[in-house]
Structure 1
Amino acid sequence: MQRDTFLKSLLALGAGAALPGISTASANLKIMLPANPGGGWDITGRALGRALQDAGVAASITYENKGGAAGAIGLAQFVNASKGDGNALMVMGAVMLGGIITGKPPVSLSQATPIARLTSEYNVFVVPAASPFKTMKDVVEQLKRDPGSVKWGGGSRGSTEHVAAAMLAREVGVDAAKINYVPFRGGGEATAAILGNNVSVGGSGYSEFQPYIESGKMRAIAVTSPARLPGLAVPTMKEQGFNVEIGNWRGVYGAPGITAEQRKRLVDMVTQATRSKAWTETVAKNGWTPALMVGAAFEEFVDREFASLRATMVKAGMV
């Protein structure tokens, strides 16, 4: 589904419309955050929890962080411990797909139940404030001279920032296998590494780095969007002469083995949460693009994303 199509669908739903069957905050929900605190999934999951309560469809929310292996460790625990639980949700996204493609874990995302895509976001690459690199072209020049000397920091192997770095290497004639990529278990670890000058370049969604960019502790040098992001004076990769464009998205899954009624209830609850004031404010604050897609349409979208991302990673020499 094209971006303009699903945005039109959102408008057609009607921002203030109430959903049938959800009238009281009776649910006690559990949200699995398959990453360490401070990263995109953690921020998204806790924001969704607040929105569910703000929308009046949840009485309480409990969270569990379980980082590692691009979310596969949290996924495994969620699949094994939540079977048939209609009050369980797990945050996931494009990064998990990439991790599954590269890591081939024993657990499969198809064992869980697709509920909804929530947001989309492009990656931003940053350098420490004192870095000698002023532009992505500076990074590329050093990458060509000595690929191993440029240390890239970001999410787990197979994350969108990892794929973007591999795409860039291939674009400029560098063997993607020679990229010095350092994966971190959560956004907090990656941020600390960048601020501590332990990596040359860091990549993630803009929302994770926003406070540090605005305070001058990090310098944004490129975004992976097709055009500059609104309100952000950072050139795109394409603008700097590199044909690299890749987006990130985040969503939620339900537990394995839930009934059609339980799935519909979760879909309705999440949909109503995305119409709440709490969610609207969080989306604006973090610079996310609303990208609601639910149920079967979301399931088909994930299948297409798996195939597309695998093809991109094969082309970039990652698989």
Structure 2
Amino acid sequence: MKHLVLASLFAGAVALPAMADYTIIAPANPGGGWDQTARTMQQVMQEDGISKSVQVQNVPGAGGTIGLAQFASQNKGNPDALIVGGYVMVGAILTNKSPVSLKDVTPIARLTGEYEAIVVPAASPIKDIAGLIDALKASPGAVSWAGGSAGGTDHIAVGLIAKAAGVDPTKINYIAYSGGGEALAALLGNQVTAGISSLGEFEAQVKAGTLRLLATTAPAPIDGVDAPTLKQAGLDVELQNWRMVAAGPGLSAEQKAKVTADIDALAKSANWQKQLADKGWMDTYLSGPEFDAQLDQDIQATESILRDIGLVK
């Protein structure tokens, strides 16, 4: 009887699905949002037993398109490789005329999102979003905007604001900075009229009183944030800077289902939810056909506004 029990236990153990050893590509330098996302995934997947081993590799450059191209070419049919990306990558693919796009990988899920914030220096004579829009309408080129990379989320948001305000988007004076620190220094030094970035980037300075928060790109007021949405200010603009994870191209339906199940387990875990709360990331998890449809919609909308701005012909 004892031997039968042992045999039964052994058979059950053998039947358990093996945990994958994942490699996650962060297509950016260490320390940025995509890198932080990849390393948080690594930590939670290992701690929660979703994967026994997770490696993170940084492949920076060109808004994520260098890492994307390398990932797509090296991981066809490989279910153990993942890449982190996001809305910035959608714009970079278009503006850099990248030969590789998100159609060349297997999108799995949207993980997190952040809304954009529009700020001015505390010493600015502009007191509210209406004042900024009035200045923009009076002389678009005289209003300088500090933000991230050309064609990225910040640039797209300014283009959408101009368009909603009835201003020619090609006339906007957008100054692209390579990092949030540089854009912040320009703002604090009163070298630009306004700044735009994710809400978290400006939170400390807004609380300290060195920047004035005028509005956010959220669809509804955000708890604890003392600023209207652009929609409340009469501008039909809503924008989320989201982050996603994709797998390699050419996966079988079974392989894709296994990867999706692992990412679903990650997103639903208490450990991941705690990480989101600690980092101030919004849980905007979306997977399956719903995410595929949303991604297609975002790509089309991004291409449209980048054409309006003049960055895509």
TM-score, reference length from structure 1:
0.80
Q: In the alignment, which of 195, 207, 214 is matched to residue 221 of structure 1?
A: 214
Match of 2:7 in 1: none
**Does residue 1:271 correspond to 2:264, yes or no?**
yes
Distance 2:25 2:177 in 1: 19
What displacement does 1:281 show? 1.6
Are 1:70 and 1:157, in contact at CA under 8 Å, matched by a contact in 2?
no
Are 1:140 and 1:172, in contact at CA under 8 Å, matched by a contact in 2?
yes
**Does residue 1:249 correspond to 2:247, yes or no?**
no
Match of 1:177 in 2: 170
Are 1:54 and 1:277, in contact at CA under 8 Å, matched by a contact in 2?
no
Distance 2:97 2:286 in 1: 26
Q: Residues 187 and 274 (structure 1 numbering): CA distance in 2 closer, same or farther, change over 3 Å? A: farther
Q: In the alignment, which of 94, 100, 106 is matched to residue 101 of structure 1?
A: 94
**Does residue 1:261 correspond to 2:254, yes or no?**
yes
Larger radius of gyration: 2
Residues 47-106 of structure 1: CA deviation (Å, up to 9, x unaligned): 222222232212343333344433222212222333333222111222222332333211
Matches within 5 A, 1:1-319: 26-187=19-180, 189-195=182-188, 197-314=190-307, 319=312
SS at structure 1 position matched to 2:196? strand
Match of 2:4 in 1: none
Distance 1:256 1:149 in 2: 46
Identity of aligned residues (%): 43
SS at structure 2 position matched to 1:242? coil
Q: Residues 291 and 226 (structure 1 numbering): CA distance in 2 closer, same or farther, change over 3 Å? A: closer
Letter in 2 for 1:279: W
Distance 1:195 1:42 in 2: 27
Distance 1:66 1:189 in 2: 22
Match of 1:9 in 2: none
Residues 166-200 of structure 1: CA deviation (Å, up to 9, x unaligned): 12222334321121223344545544554555543
Q: Residues 94 and 61 (structure 1 numbering): CA distance in 2 closer, same or farther, change over 3 Å? A: same
Choose 76-85 or 109-118, whichever is displaced more. Answer: 76-85
Q: Which runs of 5+ in 2 are unaligned?
A: 1-14
Q: Residues 113 and 125 (structure 1 numbering): CA distance in 2 closer, same or farther, change over 3 Å? A: same
Distance 1:145 1:45 in 2: 44
What displacement does 1:253 show? 0.5
Distance 2:106 2:39 in 1: 20
What displacement does 1:33 show? 2.0
Q: Residues 202 and 74 (structure 1 numbering): CA distance in 2 closer, same or farther, change over 3 Å? A: farther
SS at structure 2 position matched to 1:240? coil
Choose 103-112 or 141-150, whichever is displaced more. Answer: 141-150
Distance 1:68 1:256 in 2: 21
SS at structure 2 position matched to 1:299? helix
Letter in 2 for 1:209: F
Distance 2:290 2:173 in 1: 37
Distance 2:130 2:232 in 1: 11
Root-mean-square deviation over aligned CA pairs: 2.9
Are 1:115 and 1:254, in contact at CA under 8 Å, matched by a contact in 2?
yes
What displacement does 1:222 show? 0.9
Distance 2:24 2:304 in 1: 31
TM-score, reference length from structure 2:
0.81
Residues 283-309 of structure 1: CA deviation (Å, up to 9, x unaligned): 223444322222344223322322233
Which protein, 1 or 2, shows the higher relative CO under an 8 Å CA cutoff with sep ≥ 6?
1
Are 2:169 and 2:308, in contact at CA under 8 Å, matched by a contact in 1?
no
Match of 2:11 in 1: none
Letter in 2 for 1:172: A
